Each structure stands twice: as C-alpha cells, then as structure tokens.
Amino acid sequence: MRITKLIFGIVTFIFLFILKTDSFAQQYPVLYFCERYGDNGEVGVSDRFTNGYLTVMVKADGPLGLRDCSIQLDKYNCSSGSFDYYKKFNYSVTPDMSYVYFSKNSESDMNFEDPGIYRVFLLDQNNRTVASGLVEIIRK
C-alpha cells in the first residue's frame, strides 16, 4: 500500500511538471508571401499566386539580428525531383527588426516569372537559413 502511494505521488508530480512546461506556437521566424505590403499592411496573403512580383514577409517573436541578408529562390525541377537554384536578391535590414518585408526595389526585382513551385529562403550574411517557405506560381 505504501509503495502504491509513493508511485502514485511520483506519477502525479511528473504529470504536473509536464503540464507546467511552456509551449510556444512560433518558436522560429516564419516566412510567408503576399501580393504587396502597403500602408494598411499585407495585401493578398497566400501560398499560391499568378506569375509576377511578390513580397516576401518574415515575422519573428524577437529581433532577427540581421544586417545584410538575402532572399534566395530555388525552383522545383520535376525531371530530377529536386530544387534547383533560381536567383538571389541581397537586402540590408537593421538587427532589431522582427517583422520585415522584402519586395521589388532598385537592386532586386522579386519577380516570379515562370510557373512552378519555389522554395524561398531568408539567408543571413553567412548564407545560413533563417527562415524558409514554399510558394506555388501559376500562369495568368
């Protein structure tokens, strides 16, 4: 009887400890897409667009800590079953930013010309992945 109470107490303690553990829905930066970012925020958020210009959004719980970064596009190759490098655009941001949009500017066109599935990366200055996402581009 005493062993049963001891085991029950230990199991109860472990169960309460597990319930107390904090859980966060967003642990890492999230990369997603919209048609454009305007005065009222994001317009047309989706993961499927017609070919043309897009805006890449990145949102994190805290500062991203980036200065020089890049957005790299890899396109899915149906023949090989893998993603092939498509193009890359460089950007500068401030380290305190936790919500950033990357769109067409004088140095990058952010144009998804060809229909297909693209894997999009936000890379830091050392080409390490900060966030990534998939987008499908269909013909107009």
Domain assignment present for 8: no
pLDDT per position as a tens digit, 86-118: 999 999 999 999 999 998 887 788 889 899 999
| Bridge partner list, 121 | 72, 132
Which residue range is the domain that position 82 belongs to? 24-138
Compute the distance between CA of residue 108 and CA of residue 90 in angstroms, rounded to an integer: 7
Going by DSSP bridges, is the β-strand pair 52-53/55-59 parallel, antiparallel, or unpaired? unpaired
Domain assignment present for 127: yes
Structure confidence at residue 19 as a pLDDT band (50, 70, 90): very low
Is residue 118 within 8 Å of 33, Cβ to Cβ? Answer: no
Helical spans, DSSP H, in 39-137: none
Domain assignment present for 90: yes
pLDDT per position as a tens digit, 38-52: 888 889 999 999 999
> Number of folded domains in the chain?
1
**DSSP 3-state of 4:** helix
CATH number at residue 114: 2.60.40.1930
